[in-house]
Amino acid sequence: MSATTGDARPVPLRIEAHAADGHTTLVLVGDLTYGTAAALEEHVRAAAGAPDLVVDVARLRFCDSAGLAALIGLQRRAARRNGTVTLAGVTDGLRRVLRLTGAEVLFTLCPAVAARDEGEAAAGRHGEPA
């Protein structure tokens, strides 16, 4: 993934955590880098109860090799607990990195969680599909 948005300064990583239905969802916003990967690992340790993890990466602006290593570490931790890691909202850039490194096979990939949840909420409010 490239951080070429006109501003080369790193964007701090913000992590939003939600637990429901036997899994934890982590929404990553910003840059997943050497300097921010530890924060992701801390959130996962705090969510130790659920073996299955969904990581919404749709708003991840940049991911370096340390960030990729952190995602792979999440998968390994989940596998030890007979769980899974699903990456939701994978951008073309991150998908390419996953494919080139061979890491794509380690994860389940799905559409963005936020868009799906908003659609479900809209359907519930209006009684019809979004």
Residue 4 domain-assigned (yes or no): no
> Mean pLDDT over residues 13-37, rounded?
90
Domain that holds residue 88: 14-126
Q: pLDDT band at 44, cuts 50/70/90?
A: confident
Pairing relation of β-strands 23-32 and 52-63?
A: parallel
Residue 19 domain-assigned (yes or no): yes
Domain count, the chain: 1
Residue 9 domain-assigned (yes or no): no
Residue 37 domain-assigned (yes or no): yes
| Secondary structure, 3-state, 44-64 | HHHCCCCCEEEEEEEEEEEEC
Residue 108 domain-assigned (yes or no): yes
Residue 46 domain-assigned (yes or no): yes
Please provide the average confidence, as pLDDT, over all residues in the chain.
82
3-state secondary structure of 103: helix
Q: Which of 16, 64, 59 is nearest to 39 (CA)?
A: 16
Question: What percentage of residues in the chain have a pLDDT greater than 90?
Answer: 58
pLDDT at position 46 over 60: yes
**Total H helices, total E strands in the chain:** 4, 5
Residue 48 domain-assigned (yes or no): yes
Rounded to an integer, what distance in angstroms lies between the CA atom of residue 117 and that of residue 115? 6
Least confident of 12-16, 80-84, 120-124: 120-124
Rounded to an integer, what distance in angstroms lies between the CA atom of residue 108 and that of residue 84? 8
CATH label of the domain that carries residue 43: 3.30.750.24
Structure confidence at residue 9 (pLDDT): 75
DSSP letter assigned to residue 7 = -
Q: Which of 39, 107, 109, 30 is nearest to 62 (CA)?
A: 30
Residue 5 domain-assigned (yes or no): no
Top pLDDT among 71 and 1 is at 71
